[in-house]
Structure 1
């Protein structure tokens, strides 16, 4: 078979809604017969925020999760090969439509959530997400070796607050980082300065950092998951991005909102401190904060309807 123009449109639209570092969308798609290839764009560079390109590959992982979902939502089985050509470092994945398959309830729910997902960097509703729901979300991290670990609000938010407070102060004072942030982001006047959640958004020079006790108290009211990988390779980063996106989509499908935090983990001392103080069995790639939205949740989006074309 060959992808129809309508199917290609569905795939491209789903991938375009994947989260990415600074909304850079550092990927491109190329359909070939019954395969769609996902490429990493090396020309998208954030030398201060993402010096090693880790977040760029994590972003590609999120795009890959959306691509696989869109293929399955169109009624095809999806078979994925990661880094299939050793000589092509920019080719991160090939997704093949291997035959017709029924659309599962899980695929339908996650596909719908793609178009309702957004980065919720505001305070959550005061009611905290029950631990059992957070633990259920960790099951979506079904990538090889990836673990989504719940941060214990009773014992682990104090050391986490110390590390994130330190990171916020470092980033506030980093002029090169702030210039890069300003160049990539377009925020309403005063928006960054009004935030009181330096762990939930992008730390600007005017971001208010609460005292340690207040910081820890606010963290304890949030659902926090840290996504870990067994190693720290590009393949691990890709798996982490795909796993985090599936967790995020399951959260949205269940009426929750979320946002991802990666900036502090680019400071080696913060990442090492997180591993040591929380006793993490792996490399932390990102922190996902999950909560109840203060506003109404949009209605679910229906599955795509694509007219059959001659194959």
Structure 2
């Protein structure tokens, strides 16, 4: 292959554009070449106080990379990705090249299609429990060298989340610089935010956010299926892998009829990250928290008994 056609370039750009990103900022740019497409970080994207280390920005780039790989597969090529391929150019976070022709599998086509159905679902979920098979499928899809999902189980662990989320919400609510930046950013891009004054476990914390008491928050969290995405290290490459794992798991969840959303803001506080590691006994670094379930307007399309079979990654 010598170059991408205009149609193929559009497919790649369209898939990347639908990746989840910090505050909908899309902190990347694509540079198509001869049989390759480079994913380049845009460090000026997104409000700096909400992402002081750039971790969320790199996670966003990882999600875009996962979409790019699926788009290359959907176009009939085998993708081969290299992370940070040019040390002298740190802003080049990934290069995806074609490695020969190959028809996409049914699963790849299904997950590519899910790219365009993915939405952040911030409302409470329905009472339909997530079947074991769908949960395994999500966890398997998000599993990769150096990254994986740790599902939250039991009253003690949900109480831990409630304690840490409550601490984070109160801290961010009182952080005046943070709140000024949030107001400025949401005012600049009002169409990107459905509702900023959302509960602390589903969205951004504003100066008007009411934080529930510990018991109430614990019970609300226990009504959801939640998992912590953990990486072995805490480098930019680890953050990129976390984004890839997030998107692969999220797309797998969508194909099983689930909806979800991602929490990263509480993890900007070092004490919250440390608390998760200690109290949940995590084996690595928490990068984000994923909540998922069935939307209130939908019921599982497949009988629970059928969904309970072991899922494939």
1:210 and 1:130 map into 2 onto residues whose CA distance is 29
SS of the equivalent of 2:267 reads: helix
For residue 295 of structure 1, the aligned residue among 294, 297, 309 is: 297
When structure 1 is superposed on structure 2, of 265-274 and 41-50 the one drifting more is: 41-50
Q: Report if the CA contact (8 A) 1:153-1:219 is conserved.
A: no
Q: Report if the CA contact (8 A) 1:257-1:290 is conserved.
A: yes
TM score, norm. by length of structure 1 = 0.91
Q: Report if the CA contact (8 A) 2:72-2:79 is conserved.
A: yes
**Where does residue 121 of structure 2 map in the other structure?**
120
- Per the TM alignment, residue 4 of structure 1 is displaced from its structure 2 partner at its CA by 0.4
Q: Report if the CA contact (8 A) 1:157-1:220 is conserved.
A: yes
5 Å-filtered alignment, 1:255-266, equals: 255-266=257-268
**Where does residue 56 of structure 1 map in the other structure?**
57
**Where does residue 303 of structure 1 map in the other structure?**
none
- Per the TM alignment, residue 127 of structure 1 is displaced from its structure 2 partner at its CA by 2.6
- Asked if residue 211 in structure 1 is aligned to residue 221 in structure 2, the reply is no
1:18 and 1:34 map into 2 onto residues whose CA distance is 22
TM score, norm. by length of structure 2 = 0.91
Q: Report if the CA contact (8 A) 1:262-1:287 is conserved.
A: yes
When structure 1 is superposed on structure 2, of 68-77 and 119-128 the one drifting more is: 119-128
**Where does residue 309 of structure 1 map in the other structure?**
none
2:41 and 2:191 map into 1 onto residues whose CA distance is 26
CA RMSD in angstroms comes to 1.8
Q: Report if the CA contact (8 A) 1:118-1:257 is conserved.
A: yes
SS of the equivalent of 2:201 reads: coil
1:51 and 1:183 map into 2 onto residues whose CA distance is 16
For residue 282 of structure 1, the aligned residue among 281, 284, 287 is: 284
**Where does residue 68 of structure 2 map in the other structure?**
67
5 Å-filtered alignment, 1:183-262, equals: 183-185=184-186, 186=190, 191-193=195-197, 195=198, 197-262=199-264
- Per the TM alignment, residue 154 of structure 1 is displaced from its structure 2 partner at its CA by 3.2
Q: Report if the CA contact (8 A) 1:143-1:240 is conserved.
A: no
**Where does residue 109 of structure 2 map in the other structure?**
108
**Where does residue 97 of structure 2 map in the other structure?**
96
- Per the TM alignment, residue 282 of structure 1 is displaced from its structure 2 partner at its CA by 0.2
5 Å-filtered alignment, 1:37-52, equals: 37-52=38-53
1:123 and 1:68 map into 2 onto residues whose CA distance is 32
- Per the TM alignment, residue 132 of structure 1 is displaced from its structure 2 partner at its CA by 4.4
- Per the TM alignment, residue 123 of structure 1 is displaced from its structure 2 partner at its CA by 1.0
**Where does residue 274 of structure 2 map in the other structure?**
272
CA offset digits 1:124-168 (Å, max 9, x no partner): 112332344323311012332111110113331001100001101
**Where does residue 145 of structure 1 map in the other structure?**
146
2:194 and 2:36 map into 1 onto residues whose CA distance is 46
**Where does residue 167 of structure 2 map in the other structure?**
166
Q: Report if the CA contact (8 A) 1:79-1:96 is conserved.
A: yes
- Per the TM alignment, residue 174 of structure 1 is displaced from its structure 2 partner at its CA by 1.1
- Tell me how many residue pairs correspond in the alignment: 296
- Decide which structure has greater helix share: 2
2:30 and 2:194 map into 1 onto residues whose CA distance is 36
